[in-house]
Amino acid sequence: MNKVILMGRLTRDPEVRYPQGNNGTAVARYTLAVDRRFGKKEGEQNADFIPCVAFGKSAEFAEKYLHQGVKIAVSGRIQTGSYTNRDGAKVFTTDVIIEEQEFAESKAAGSGNGNGHQSGSYDDGFRKMPQYADDELPFL
């Protein structure tokens, strides 16, 4: 079984291309910075930088909605390969081929306003509860 699940932030905007020989199917490449569970020193955070490739509709989604700093969760498979570079040296590659990708935080949380919510916004799908004094609760 070859299955990968990652959550991290894009290190830069996706690079999207539409190759002519492949019926114009979009190919998006981006790198996810995925935090490691433990840092080297107290409070220091380490990350792995994972190259990802999306095809077709997933690539078009990446082009339209993903940008540097956005936190996403992806699932896919690891694919390895190799090629010979201009200097004649063999280069080995490892990529995650994206099968699913989705946002891992709300737009408000990613905007850096500190509390993760915008006033008057219901982007997270929940309505704000009205404030009542303890003796005015609408139910018992």
Domain ranges of the chain: 4-106
Share of the chain above pLDDT 70, in %: 71
Q: Is the pTM of this model over 0.75?
A: no
| pLDDT for res 137 | 52
pLDDT (tens digit per residue) in 78-128: 999 999 999 999 999 999 999 999 999 987 776 654 443 333 334 444 455
Mean pLDDT of the chain: 82
The token pair at 32 is: 């996810």
What's the pLDDT band for 5 if we cut at 50, 70, 90?
A: very high
Once rounded to an integer, what is the mean pLDDT over residues 47-55?
A: 96
Hey, which residues does 47 pair with through a beta bridge? 35
Higher per-residue confidence, 133 vs 104: 104
Q: Residue 39 pLDDT > 70, yes or no?
A: no
One-letter identity of residue 96: V
Higher per-residue confidence, 77 vs 105: 77
pLDDT (tens digit per residue) in 57-70: 999 999 999 999 99
Eight-class DSSP state of 45: -
Task: Using DSSP, state whether 118 is helix, strand or coil.
Answer: coil
CATH H superfamily, domain 4-106:
Nucleic acid-binding proteins (2.40.50.140)
Distance CA 64, CA 62 (A): 5
- Phi first, then psi: what are they for 41, rounded to 5°? -125, 170
The residue whose two tokens read 């190919």 is: 27
| pLDDT for res 20 | 81
| pLDDT for res 48 | 94
